[in-house]
Amino acid sequence: MVDGNLGLGLYIGPHCMQMAIDKAKKYGVGFVACRNSTHYGIAGYYATMATDQGCIGFTGTNARPSIAPTFGVEPMMGTNPLVFGLPSTDDFPFVIDCATSVNQRGKIEKYAREGVDTPAGAVIDDQGIERTDTEGILRDMVLGKCALTPVGGAGDKMGGYKGFGWAATVELLCTALQSGPWGEDICGVDRATGKPKPMPLGHFFLAIDIEKICPLDTFKKNTGEFLKALRESKKAPTGPGRIWTAGEPENDARISRTSQGGMKVVAPLQKNMIDLRNSRPGLKEKYPKLPFE
Amino acid sequence: MVDGNLGLGLYIGPHCMQMAIDKAKKYGVGFVACRNSTHYGIAGYYATMATDQGCIGFTGTNARPSIAPTFGVEPMMGTNPLVFGLPSTDDFPFVIDCATSVNQRGKIEKYAREGVDTPAGAVIDDQGIERTDTEGILRDMVLGKCALTPVGGAGDKMGGYKGFGWAATVELLCTALQSGPWGEDICGVDRATGKPKPMPLGHFFLAIDIEKICPLDTFKKNTGEFLKALRESKKAPTGPGRIWTAGEPENDARISRTSQGGMKVVAPLQKNMIDLRNSRPGLKEKYPKLPFE
């Protein structure tokens, strides 16, 4: 159990995952729970730390409440990703990093930018209506009048109770061992004053050292062959004509962006980074010239 | 790693889960992979073995191929349950035991008995059509012309790639460490002769001993309070007016059936059980009178 002392999640997370990996290297499998952390960034990064070191990785985090239970309307659980990583002979590891809700808010903002409706069943409002009006949803989410639904959607017809069960599992793995807060207590806002307040998050990290069970190369080969078979299986004539396995779209993006000389850092963010570097002791020596300077 | 030697999964499974729990009691966390097993019954049973012994349980199994990848139509993965159990102060543990597909075949057979359509997006045929004709689906599934879709449904609109990623995770955890077969190799039928053939399945079992991290009573209290809050959260006016947490419907069924003096064993099954008892050495001494005799 690691206490993050409300420090930077991006620092706490790697420390915990490395602890889990070190334990796995010694005992075969390692598990680390963490409390009083903050947003730990890309969950799949931790799974990749494990795969880079010959381990199976498993991690999750809770977050401010946004998912309503099946047959409920109140945001009670975070988007709570359930994340696994497995090494493979592919150029990239198998990493499934996704929320246990149908969408996160970011996806709905994307629908807004595209000017399209949100698919029915992905958002429910406090009247129990499956909302599709993207702009209205974004407004009502802020007011707590709209909640995201778990994977499987609203109700039980398409298995929404499955996503609900997994979202609750992640919330519990992130709070029950830690006696950590959840729901309204990590909404990030003091309801009386409207001011921001700390959001102590919990995470968990698990690593399994593959070599303790079978040769790593054998494991990678097995994984690679299965994933290749999935990608080469028969395509839906009604679909895009390609099957992507987990981690592949991210790898495609990495290749494409690297070939263009990296990602563009927009001007306001460049300014933020320069200001931060100049105002904090030690950073100017460490980063005398940022890539875009 | 346990080799089941194609024995009875219902015997192999409990042996493996108990191994994982024993390892957890010694080291904090225990993981066991299993190969050459057969159908291991109710996956949630293993999660409950863990919760009964003060552990968090996690298990999964692969199965004959029935789920198609997102944007694919070919049954490539089993219904691959992703199963967690956590002890609670409730009268029953939190156990989420569900397939990573929207439905299993059994649910579609239920739709057939009820004479209703299968919801769109839960089944895709080899032409990429989202089929709803329940009777036709059951016929075409046998012919390999219909596949189940992962949780989140067909395509990517409602997050089907999430269920696909988790289904693939389970298939890999059940085969990659074990170098075990998957897909067509565990379809259970010799395509040349049409005769049944062995289906060597893989499983995995993980247990975390809660007392190694925090007092078990504290954990149970935390879990119980969170689950109670979920059940008591605001109901959808459009829903059944109740929120069930994982394990609760099963507990309700147990109470109701126990109050009726147990489950009815239908006559043909009674005869099967009597015949089996009478024909196998040792069973007649052990079960001289079955409950329904």
In chain B, DSSP finds a helix count (H) and a strand count (E) of 9, 8
Indicate the pLDDT class of residue B51, thresholds 50, 70 and 90: very high
Per-residue pLDDT band at B293 (split at 50, 70, 90): confident
Contact A29/B33, CB-based, under 8 Å?
no
pLDDT at B262 over 90: no
Closest residue by Cα to residue B43 from B3, B93, B2, B99: B99
Number of other CB atoms surrounding residue B130 within 10 Å: 18
Q: What is the mean pLDDT of residues B180-190?
A: 93
Lowest mean pLDDT segment, chosen from A84-93, A141-150, A190-199: A190-199
Three-state secondary structure call for residue A281: coil
pLDDT digits (tens, 9 = 90+) for A114-159: 999 999 999 999 999 999 999 999 999 988 899 999 999 999 999 9
Q: What is the pLDDT of residues B131-144, one digit of tens each?
A: 999 999 999 998 88
Which pLDDT value is given to residue A159?
Answer: 96
Angle between helices A9-27 and A43-52 (to 10 degrees): 30
Q: Alpha carbon of B156 to those of A240, A280, B198: distances in Å?
A: 11, 44, 35
Give the pLDDT band of residue B263 (cuts 50, 70, 90).
confident
CA distance B111 to chain A (A): 11
pLDDT at B266 over 90: no
Check if the beta carbon of residue B51 is closer than 8 Å to that of residue B96. no
What is the structure's pLDDT at A149? 98
Interface predicted TM-score of the whole assembly (ipTM), two decimals: 0.95
Residue B154's pLDDT is: 96
pLDDT at A248 over 90: yes
On chain A, the residues whose CB falls within 8 A of the CB of B246 are 161, 164-165, 168-169
Q: What is the pLDDT of residue A194?
A: 86
Task: Count CB neighbours of B11 within 10 A.
Answer: 13
User: A29, A168, A93: which is closest to B168 by C-alpha?
Assistant: A93
Q: What whole-number distance in Å separates Cα of residue B97 and Cα of residue B18?
A: 18
Q: What is the pLDDT of residue B26?
A: 97
Closest-CA distance of chain A to residue B17, Å: 15
**Residue A176 pLDDT grade (very low, low, confident, very high; cuts 50, 70, 90):** very high
| Beta-sheet pairing, A55-61 with A82-86 | antiparallel
Q: Is the pLDDT of residue B264 over 90?
A: no
> What pLDDT is stored for residue A46 in this prediction?
98
- At A16-37, the pLDDT tens digits run 999 999 999 999 999 999 999 9
**Tell me, what's the pLDDT at A209?**
98
In angstroms, what separates the C-alpha of A133 from chain B's closest C-alpha? Answer: 16
- Could you give the domains of chain A? 1-98+157-233 (3.30.1370.60), 103-148 (3.30.60.50), 247-285 (no CATH)
At A28 the pLDDT is 97
Q: Is the pLDDT of residue A223 over 90?
A: yes
Cβ under 8 Å to B: A residues 224-243: 226-227, 229-231, 233-243
Q: What is the DSSP string of B225-273?
A: HHHHHHHHSPBPTTS-S--PPTTHHHHHHHHHHHHTTSPPPPHHHHHHH
Would you say B48 and B95 are in contact if contact means Cβ atoms under 8 Å apart?
Answer: yes
pLDDT at A262 over 90: no
pLDDT at A278: 93
Q: How many helices (H) and strands (E) does chain A have?
A: 9, 8
Percent of chain B with pLDDT strictly greater than 90: 90
Give the nearest partner residue to A119 out of B157, B233, B234, using CB atoms. Answer: B157
Strands A146-148 and A201-209: unpaired
Closest CB from A70, A96, A155 relative to B165: A96
Length of chain A: 293
Q: Which two tokens stand for residue B44?
A: 């949630």
Q: What is the side-by-side strand order in the sheet with A55-61?
A: A2-3, A29-37, A201-209, A55-61, A82-86, A94-96
